[in-house]
Structure 1
Amino acid sequence: MDCHEPVDDYCDASQADNLQIPPNSTDSDQFFIAIEVEVTQPSVESSEEEDDDDDDDCAPNLRVSDLETLGFWAPCPRTESDNLPESVISGMLSRAGVPLHKQKYMTDRISLRADEIASAARNKEARVLPMQVLISMVACSCYGEAVVDP
């Protein structure tokens, strides 16, 4: 895979009703956020393999090089917007090993979903708002990206 090829990273956030939530002693409303980050890297193929797979010339051959799940607590003020500020999300993503230049789309998506979860009628009485974030990203050594242990 050429480092100048565009790569689509993936991020999705949703309410997660089946998460294992650790105890928390605070009395205020909180998000519990489980972030699962899958890092893939281009695989090095031999030229013989490349010759045999002419149909796959457009698709990069990727391998999962790391899969990590981290849990975070964050306060939820229950406002119309900014229930989970982008700076807080960015800190979580950084600790999970997501490079800063890949975070903008992810922080926007997670922040929007946090607002939806915080304002949902079904969560009105809930003190803990569980959220699961799934991320899959391609690391490319050309940009100095490497799998980093958080």
Structure 2
Amino acid sequence: MCIGAAKIKPDGWGQLRQILKTTRDMRGRYVHFTTLVAARDADLIRFWVAIGGTGARVMGGDTNQTPVHGTFRWLQADIVVGPVPLGADHISYGFLLWGKGDVWVLDPHIEVNTHDEVRNIPTLPVTLKTPLGEQTHDPF
């Protein structure tokens, strides 16, 4: 998937998101959003996860405190939030590009984990790390 700015000096943002209904087995567990990301001349890329219930956001996390921008080849982005509360009825996750540039994501997905499983993800709640191996296509 790719989002790119149509103008040299855009004033705004574009985003892609996915919304999932929660299931009983998600409650009390942690939501791990992970994707590979590459960018070219991006002003700001923001990844996020929100857990909602009855029309309101219950909890969430994003990369707002860890700015992602510029030009780089494939990195892995991770966000973990939780535990999923009893009142949650949906999980929303995605990414946006604010301003100019291009951003590519590969295999964005959600995993539902126990507390012990998410403790093995380094430097939570947000990480950007180079993936192991060369299993991805070069977007440039």
- TM-score if structure 2 supplies the norm length? 0.29
More helix by share: 1
More strand by share: 2
Larger radius of gyration: 1
